[in-house]
Structure 1
Amino acid sequence: MYIKNDYKSQRCRVFGIENKERPVPLRAKFDQCTFTEDTHNGVYSAIVVIQPNMKIVTDMARAYQVKCIYGKDFDDSRTVTAELDVDMIQTTTMITVGGEEAHVSMIILDEYDNIIRTAHIGQSLKLRIIINPKAVYGIFAYNCLTQSNVEDWVHEIIDSAGCAIEEKIFGNFKLNRDTKALTSFFTAFKFPLSSYVKFQCEVKICVGFCEEVECANSPSFGKRKKRSLNSPKYITHKKVSFVLSME
């Protein structure tokens, strides 16, 4: 729990204990945290953010505007919603094998498969990794992470084995056998202090189809099975990424 825009300051935030239900007091001073002052009416206000994840803001986070009115009781709290504008900057990777160029890229789509550049926290989205020419190559992804432009915060979403770390936030990759694209479903989120979120995955490229890996809850087209790593079908691996701009 923290005062909006002051997550970095220890004086303006407090952490609860995981899986423990107990009151958590947040004591924030006007001269140390971000408050809005209306001295004419004697009103001081701040937005308090409560989120279950220590690093990222998901649709489970809540924001409340708290007003301090001197000489009166505290005003009722109300929920404050925030929008984020997504300005996608694509990074693509290309390799050439046997005269056929492999082109790997990322896009974000909404639930209707439209490529989007604006999203709301909690909106259902899809991250898709695309390979072309699809008739020649296949791909699998692993070591995916998100990174902020503030304090170099990093939040892992797909581990080194190609499996989702927190499926409620970012799901396992699924393969479309017609297009050979990999798709993961997730809900839009952001870092508390950052105006950008960078998504990055390592992608291995092979000829034909890549093999899936068995994750705890479901299969994922992430890391190739160990017995296949030395297969002549395996070509190379690259990193692919894009950046979301948030307001």
Structure 2
Amino acid sequence: SEVSGIVKIGQTMTMVLAIKDDENKFDMLVRNCVAHDGKRAPIQLVDQHGCVVRPKIMSKFQKIKNFGPSASVVSFAYFQAFKFPDSMNVHFQCVIQVCRYNCPEPRCGGEYGVPHLGGLVGDYGLSHNSISGEYGPPPLPEYGAPAAFPDPRHPSGPSGAYSENKP
């Protein structure tokens, strides 16, 4: 859902992603999360294995199964609010892998970082649906992983805060 109002740079926020399955036969794994402003190449926050690649900005995803009537599985991560230079918009996109019963836990180097050799093996029913922090499809063209990422810890502009556009 969309954030309304001003968010301070560095403020701790929570990204919450959920699936609903009335029979509790499915699980989820959050992969390939990026943040972008709709104008420039995105920064990667979570890699294709489900490992956090920017631990100073985002925590690893935690999972709650059998959450309740609104969702069967909820995955959430904490992140520090940031902004892109010359933009007041920050959009998040993640790929959600849906698995029957249990998804494999990501095997990351230490708590975060590069996955161990072996990583995820096999066909776990990857869903190519994109989850976005706003309604509607992501802006075109679809972004690939850029060679270098802008540093989101150094916001530009005097306000030191960002807000989301209202539809």
Computing the radius of gyration over CA atoms, which structure comes out larger, 1 or 2? 1
> Which structure: greater strand fraction?
1
Gap change, CA 1:195 and 1:235, over 3 Å in 2: closer
Q: What percent of counterpart residues are identical?
A: 23
**1:127 and 2:18 aligned:** no
Structure 1 unaligned runs (5+)? 1-86, 89-115
Partner of 2:132: 241
Runs (4 or more) in structure 1 with deviation over 6 Å come to: none
Gap change, CA 1:237 and 1:153, over 3 Å in 2: closer
Gap change, CA 1:219 and 1:147, over 3 Å in 2: closer
How big is each residue's C-alpha offset from its partner over 1:168-193, in whole Å with a ceiling of 9 and x where there is no partner?
A: 10121111133221111111111121
Map 1:118-197 onto structure 2 (within 5 A). Answer: 118=5, 119-133=7-21, 135-150=24-39, 152-179=40-67, 180-197=73-90
Higher RCO, 1 vs 2 (CA within 8 Å, ≥6 residues apart):
2
TM-score, normalised by the number of residues in structure 1: 0.45
Coordinate RMSD, CA, aligned:
2.8
Map 1:207-246 onto structure 2 (within 5 A). Answer: 207-218=100-111, 226-227=120-121, 229-230=122-123, 234=125, 236-243=127-134, 245=164
Aligned partner letter, 1:161:
H
**1:121 to partner: Cα distance:** 1.4
**1:117 and 2:4 aligned:** yes
Gap change, CA 1:235 and 1:136, over 3 Å in 2: farther
Cα distance in 1 between the residues matched to 2:89 and 2:60: 23
Paired residues in the alignment total 127
**1:235 to partner: Cα distance:** 6.2
Gap change, CA 1:177 and 1:125, over 3 Å in 2: same
Map 1:62-73 onto structure 2 (within 5 A). Answer: none
